[in-house]
Amino acid sequence: MIVLLKFYTMQKLILALILITSYSCIYTQNPQDMQSRHTSAQHNDTGEYPIQLEEQEWKDRLQPSQYYILRQAGTERPFTGKYYKNKDAGIYYSAATGQPLFVSDAKYDSGCGWPSFFEPITEGVILYRKDTTHGMIRTEIIDSSSGSHLGHVFDDGPPPTGLRYCMNSDAMIFVRIDQEAPALVKDYMEKHASEKERDAVEDFIKANN
């Protein structure tokens, strides 16, 4: 009983830390209403995605920490993600499907404890929906290929967009510019990628070689 109580208390402390850190990162918005008002981040999730799997298939495909974030809309603790301080040149892909999401040129240090970007790699890779959990109103971001949770977007980012895409490291796969893409990414790019996605990836690689 004591062990269970300690575990429950620790879980509450971790959640409180995440919420406090989230609040501290919002400088211009009402602490209770933090959803993005930006025209490019309006809610557009239809619930229909080209890649759909049964939940057991997702569990088999993903690591437990990835499943918790991508399929259960969990959040990793701030300042702990493997990509939080990553400054290498490369592309960030969805860990659920291999869909390209962001390039390193759009990454910046927001000081919030999670990897932050000011814009996606191209239009259409991110979908937006209203999130009212934990007593807040936020704009959740998901990958458009499977509807998997990535993080949230806020209106306190730098120019030119003014947006901060606050991401979970375990929701992404990072491929350095000099690395070969893993099988998941190759499969997505071959079978599912749009022309815009292919062009964006190719253009970034060419510009950095």
In the chain the domains, ranked by start, together with CATH numbers, are: 2-207 (2.170.150.20)
Q: Can you give the pLDDT at residue 4?
A: 38
pLDDT, tens digit (0-9, with 9 covering 90-100), for 91-147: 999 999 999 999 999 999 999 999 999 999 999 999 999 999 989 999 999 999 999
The CA-atom distances, in angstroms, between 156 and each of 36, 40, 110, 171 are 9, 14, 9, 22
Q: Which residue has the tokens 């062009």?
A: 199
d(C-alpha 196, C-alpha 189), whole Å: 11
**Using alpha carbons only, what angle is made at residue 33 by residues 20 and 152, rounded to the nearest 5 degrees?**
65
> What token pair was written down for 77?
């603790």
Catalytic residues: 166
1: its two tokens: 């009983």
pLDDT per position as a tens digit, 48-96: 999 999 999 999 999 999 999 999 999 999 999 999 999 999 999 999 9
Q: Between β-strands 100-103 and 90-94, what pairing exists: parallel, antiparallel or unpaired?
A: antiparallel
- How much is the pLDDT for 48? 95
Q: Which pLDDT does position 31 carry in this prediction?
A: 54
**Reported confidence tier of residue 32, pLDDT bands at 50, 70, 90:** low
Q: What is the pLDDT of residue 153?
A: 97
